């Protein structure tokens, strides 16, 4: 198997050395070059034509975010961002992921991480996954209009529950999720007739930045979920990193419940946990949506939910727009998807289904 060519961009000589060693010791990669700042990174990406770029967020001359934007225009290639856990770092990382980067890795102890080895496995896994992403194709297709004849028709056409029933939307996503959520949530109408619960696989700290960014861009209200709060129509609740999120019934209302039970298949928050919690809801019209992401989180939870509530409608993102076609593919392969849609038609379908 051919080695994956990687360009490492970081202003720290120590970090360049450590990341190079981590990747080359793995056996699947060869580092074809290193760059000392964003400008150097853009030039070497065009010259060396790597399969993947690892990009530090905060650098002199040209920071990682600006370098990313230039690379996406001049030589589109999968980029994995390396970020500190500072507030500035998380904000920049969310912006990078929402505008072109495939994924991100947090440095364990800030800008120059002396214990970068702690995330050795994460670095290798995320760079390997990123190498499979066709960035130019995916970005163009995600923005393009998909002709109606190319849309996969519903696998089933279940009858809609009573219009009088209460409504809820639940969304699950992972790698590539911030960009997908940006396209879907910003297109939702202000008068959306349901609350929306979202699980995005992310570490603590980053979900607050994601929520704030989406809130500024959307007609609906977007916020990081809080334990015990009542859910309102037209509001999107994003599970905080490091916490499972469940939705529970309290009288006539729905309440957010957060906990730090053990991760499920390595995930906390877990989409399975969210979907499974909906099994207890009675007389609710529920629409689930599974977007881009590696693995199969959400499949077991949706299987249980559909068994308990045959009126649940489920949407899976099509391969044409998914950055990583793992989670939605699993939903489709298990026969759980009622609709398979590209991102640019997801919001209108969600709105239609909960009218």
* 244-250/253-259 β-pairing: antiparallel
Look up 174 and say whether it is catalytic: yes
Average pLDDT of the residues in 5-14: 95
Active-site annotation holds for 136:
no
The pLDDT value recorded for residue 152 is 42
Q: Does domain 155-353 correspond to CATH entry 2.40.160.20?
A: no
What superfamily in CATH does domain 4-141 come from? Response regulator (3.40.50.2300)
Averaged pLDDT for residues 268-294: 96
Q: Which of 201, 244, 330, 351 is catalytic?
A: 201
Q: Could you tell me the residue ranges of all domains in the chain?
A: 4-141, 155-353
Q: Give the active site residue among 83, 113, 174, 330.
A: 174
* Burial of 105 (C-beta count, 10 Å sphere; 0-12/13-18/19+): buried
pLDDT band at 112, cuts 50/70/90?
A: low
Equal CATH topology for 4-141 and 155-353:
yes
Residue-level pLDDT at 44: 97
Terminus-to-terminus CA distance in the chain, angstroms? Answer: 51
* Centroid of chain to Cα 325: 12
CA distance 38 to 65: 8
Full-prediction pTM beyond 0.85?
Answer: yes
For 19-23, the CB contacts below 8 A with 24+ separation are 19/54, 19/82, 19/116, 19/123, 22/116, 22/117, 22/120, 22/123, 22/124, 23/123, 23/124, 23/127
What pLDDT does 138 receive? 44
Whole-number pLDDT of residue 174: 96
Tens-place pLDDT, residues 60-86: 889 999 999 999 999 999 999 998 777
CA-CA distance, 79 to 101, in Å (whole number)?
5
- Of the residues 10, 11, 297, 338, only one is catalytic, namely 297
Active site residue 297: yes
């Amino acid at each position: 198997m051919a080695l994956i060519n990687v360009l490492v961009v970081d202003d720290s000589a120590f970090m360049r050395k450590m990341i190079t060693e981590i990747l080359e010791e793995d056996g699947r990669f060869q580092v074809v070059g290193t760059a000392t700042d964003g400008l150097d990174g853009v030039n070497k990406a065009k010259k060396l034509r790597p399969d993947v770029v690892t990009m530090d967020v905060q650098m002199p001359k040209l920071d990682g975010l600006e370098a990313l934007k230039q690379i996406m225009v001049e030589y589109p290639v999968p980029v994995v961002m390396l970020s500190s856990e500072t507030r500035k770092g998380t904000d920049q990382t969310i912006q990078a992921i929402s505008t072109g980067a495939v994924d991100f890795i947090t440095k364990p102890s800030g800008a120059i991480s002396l214990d970068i080895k702690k995330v050795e496995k994460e670095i290798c896994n995320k760079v390997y996954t990123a190498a499979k992403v066709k960035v130019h194709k995916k970005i163009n297709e995600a923005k393009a209009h998909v002709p109606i004849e190319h849309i996969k028709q519903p696998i089933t056409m279940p009858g809609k529950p009573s219009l009088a029933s209460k409504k809820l939307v639940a969304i699950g996503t992972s790698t590539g999720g911030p960009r997908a959520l940006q396209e879907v949530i910003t297109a939702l109408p202000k008068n959306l007739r349901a609350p929306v619960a979202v699980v995005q696989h992310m570490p603590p700290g980053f979900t607050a930045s994601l929520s704030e960014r989406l809130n500024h861009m959307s007609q609906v209200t977007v916020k990081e979920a809080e334990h015990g709060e009542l859910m309102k129509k037209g509001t999107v609740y994003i599970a905080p990193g490091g916490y499972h999120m469940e939705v529970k019934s309290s009288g006539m209302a729905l309440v957010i419940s957060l906990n730090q039970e053990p991760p499920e298949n390595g995930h906390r928050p877990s989409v399975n946990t969210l979907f499974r919690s909906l099994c207890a809801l009675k007389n609710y019209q529920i629409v689930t949506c599974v977007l881009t992401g590696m693995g199969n989180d959400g499949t077991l939870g949706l299987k249980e939910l559909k068994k308990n509530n045959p009126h649940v409608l489920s949407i899976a993102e099509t391969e044409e727009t998914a950055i990583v076609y793992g989670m939605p593919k699993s939903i489709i392969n298990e026969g759980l998807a009622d609709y398979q849609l590209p991102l640019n038609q997801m919001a209108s379908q969600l709105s239609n289904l909960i009218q």
